[in-house]
């Protein structure tokens, strides 16, 4: 598929079949993270790959919005280093996108578990600590997201989009 075809067809998958992801596919998905760009090439993001069932079940409880992790066959935890780059959040985020698109291209579904957020420092701390302690993630790393992976057990319904002219402007904001 072309990159644009992958982008157009990619969806979030929240239910997975009980089939291990072959190492070769998982390796390609990890490559997508490894080669993702970062601001000033300051490589402020790191990745922790998990396949152990007990750890996946622990990750499922990171937030109330990751129930799909109970059927995921693997997870990739994306961490960021504010000490390395002021763009750590963008660096981690674009790596998430690269992972997601590569997985979709390979027929592997992804559930996105947001962990860090900027609205409530205490809630973010609790969520991050849940992941950090289980996986020995150092205190200076921020836990941005946990992506759950597996072969899809669902075909998501069409989603609602804003009209293009409410989202894309040409020449200035609000100009269509
Ligand atoms: C920044 C961000 C945070 C998200 N957090 C969660 C989450 O915590 N739990 C979840 O199930 N999905 C999460 N999602 C997935 C979105 O809900 C999903 O991508 C959105 O509904 C659009 O659906 P689609 O991915 O099928 O296009 C997140 C996605 C993004 C980009």
Query: Nearest to residue 144, comparing CAs of 102, 122, 113?
Result: 113
Q: Is 156 in the pocket of ligand 1 (CB under 6 A)?
A: yes
Q: What is the C-alpha separation between 111 and 100, in angstroms, rounded?
A: 9
Residues 114-157 pLDDT 10s:
999 999 999 999 999 999 999 999 999 999 999 999 999 999 99
Report whether residue 80 contacts ligand 1, using a CB cutoff of 6 Å. Answer: no
146, 131 in Cβ contact below 8 A? yes
The chain-wide mean pLDDT, for the chain, equals 98
C-alpha 8/C-alpha 51 separation (Å) is 29
CA of 17 to the centre of ligand 1 (A): 20
CA of 117 to the centre of ligand 1 (A): 13
Q: Is the pLDDT of residue 176 over 90?
A: no
Digit-coded pLDDT (tens) for 24-52: 999 999 999 999 999 999 999 999 999 99
Q: Which residue has the tokens 């600590």?
A: 129
């Amino acid at each position: 598929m072309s990159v644009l075809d992958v982008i157009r067809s990619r969806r979030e998958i929240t239910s997975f079949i009980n089939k291990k992801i072959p190492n070769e596919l998982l390796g390609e998905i990890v490559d997508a993270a490894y080669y993702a760009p970062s601001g000033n090439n300051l490589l402020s993001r790191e990745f922790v790959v998990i396949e152990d069932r007990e750890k996946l079940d622990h990750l499922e409880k990171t937030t109330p919005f990751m129930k799909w992790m109970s059927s995921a066959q693997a997870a990739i935890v994306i961490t960021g280093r504010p000490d390395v780059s002021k763009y750590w959040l963008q660096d981690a985020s674009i790596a998430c996108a690269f992972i997601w698109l590569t997985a979709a291209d390979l027929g592997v579904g992804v559930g996105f578990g947001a962990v860090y957020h900027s609205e409530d420092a205490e809630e973010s701390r609790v969520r991050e600590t849940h992941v950090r302690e289980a996986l020995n993630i150092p205190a200076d790393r921020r836990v941005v997201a946990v992506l759950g992976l597996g072969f899809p057990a669902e075909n998501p319904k069409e989603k609602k989009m804003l009209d293009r002219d409410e989202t894309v402007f040409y020449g200035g904001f609000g100009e269509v």
